Each structure stands twice: as C-alpha cells, then as structure tokens.
Amino acid sequence: MKLPGKTIERLSEYRRTLLGCLSEKKNYIFSHELAARQHITAVQVRRDLMLIGYTSVHRKGYDIKELIEKIGTIIDSETSLNVAVIGIGNLGRAVAGYFKGKRSKLSLVASFDNDPQKVNKVISGVKCYPKEEMEKIIRDFDIKIAILTVPADIAKEISEEAVRCGIRGILNFTTVPLNVPSWVYLEEYDMITSIEKVAYFVKENTI
C-alpha cells in the first residue's frame, strides 16, 4: 500500500524522535509520550503505526529499537539512494553540511555549481562539479535525487535539465513553483511562506 505523504513525514519525524530517545537510554515509549513530543494526538500516532502494521504488545509501550527498524523497512530503500545538491551557495552549503551522513540509505555524493571558485573543490564535505558535467556525473554516480538551491531565475531551467539527466525526485528550496513529469516526485519548501505563516500567528497571538 502506498502511504500518504503526510504519513511518511510523520514516520520520519517519529524515527528522529525515537533515535533521540535511545540516546537518552530509553527503551520503551507509549503512544501518548511519542505524541506529546511531536505535538500531535496519541490517536494519530496509533493510526500511523497501524497503517504500517505495527502494534505494541508490551505493557511498557512500544519497543523503541524495534519500532525504529520497522519504520526503516517502510521509508528506506533496500539499497542506498544517491543525492546531489544543485547550487552550492550559502543555502546549498548549509543543506549539504546538515544532510551529509544523517541517513545510511541516503548518500550525498555530489554538488553542482557554475562558479569557478567552487568547482572541483570539496564544500561541506562533498565535491562540487561544474554544471556542464551534470549529465555525466548523475549517470556515473546513479544519482536519483536532487536538492535544488539555485537562484530563482534559473530554477525552472535547472530542474528541467536535472530531469533530463535522470533525476527522479526533487526537493525544491527555491521560491519558484516547479512543474515536473508525473514520474518525478517533487517536494517544495518555501522558507518565506513558512516564516510569514509563523509571523501571522505571532501577530494574531499578540493582538
């Protein structure tokens, strides 16, 4: 069964929280505890875990290690997927530095830029290649996912080129909404919209 995107988001968040629990030497967790850490309801947690076929048989709650492994079988690929950052400016550097090494099944293997000061250098732990070599590098490294952090005025052009080169999933950090073919999964994150949303509720709560 193909799970909804929001469910996948929550499963990823559950795993991150559960990994934090392990670091706290915690071995079991109840649904209401996990829900409180995620700021959602225990009903939602139980519903999500039932969707992936996981229920607790322990009076102590969910076995944390077991649940982490179960979530991994759902959202991780059997083999590692290779990722590239396109546009290694300030945002690209930050994303690459944060992302690299966070997940064993997702490997950041390359970045691309057209700035000669960056090309052929290791930046934020990953080698930067010239944009002209994108097709070759994507093919050679079997890169399937692109994180797009280029200037807005070239976002459409670069995304189309990435798709032609074989990219099957794009995380778009630019402010330009993209159109991609049906076989490419697109996730768009607009930081301006997010901060304006936060600002709106701050405004409403202080009136």
Q: What is the pLDDT of residue 31?
A: 93
Pairing assessment for the beta strands 143-148 and 185-188 based on DSSP bridges: unpaired
Q: Please name the CATH architecture into which domain 81-192 falls.
A: 3-Layer(aba) Sandwich (3.40)
Q: Which pLDDT belongs to residue 207?
A: 57
In this structure, what token pair is assigned to residue 92?
């690209």
- The chain-wide mean pLDDT, for the chain, equals 91
Answer yes or no: is pLDDT of 204 > 90: no
3-state secondary structure of 80: coil
Phi, psi of 148 (to 5 degrees): -100, 115
Query: pLDDT digit string (tens) for 32-91?
Result: 999 999 999 999 999 999 999 998 767 889 999 999 999 988 888 777 899 999 999 999
pLDDT reported for residue 21: 93
Class of domain 5-73: mainly alpha
Q: Give residue 114's pLDDT.
A: 93
pLDDT at 101 over 90: no
> Which residue(s) pair with 112 in the sheet?
86, 129
Residue 75 corresponds to which tokens in the numbers above?
């959202």
List the domain boundaries for the chain. Answer: 5-73, 81-192
- Cα–Cα distance between 9 and 30 in angstroms, integer? 20
Tell me the helices (H) and strands (E) count for the chain, helix number first. 8, 9
List pLDDT tens digits, range 148-187. 999 999 999 999 999 999 999 999 999 899 999 999 999 9
Instruction: Please tell me the predicted confidence (pLDDT) of residue 181.
Output: 95
Tell whether the model's pLDDT for residue 103 goes beyond 80.
Answer: no
Q: Which amino acid is at 69?
A: E
| Whole-number Å distance between alpha carbons of 82 and 51 | 28
Contacts of 117 (CB under 8 A, 6+ apart): none
The answer to whether 123 and 146 have CB atoms below 8 angstroms apart is: no
Per cent of the chain over pLDDT 70 is 98
Q: Which residues pair with 169 in a beta bridge?
A: 145, 185
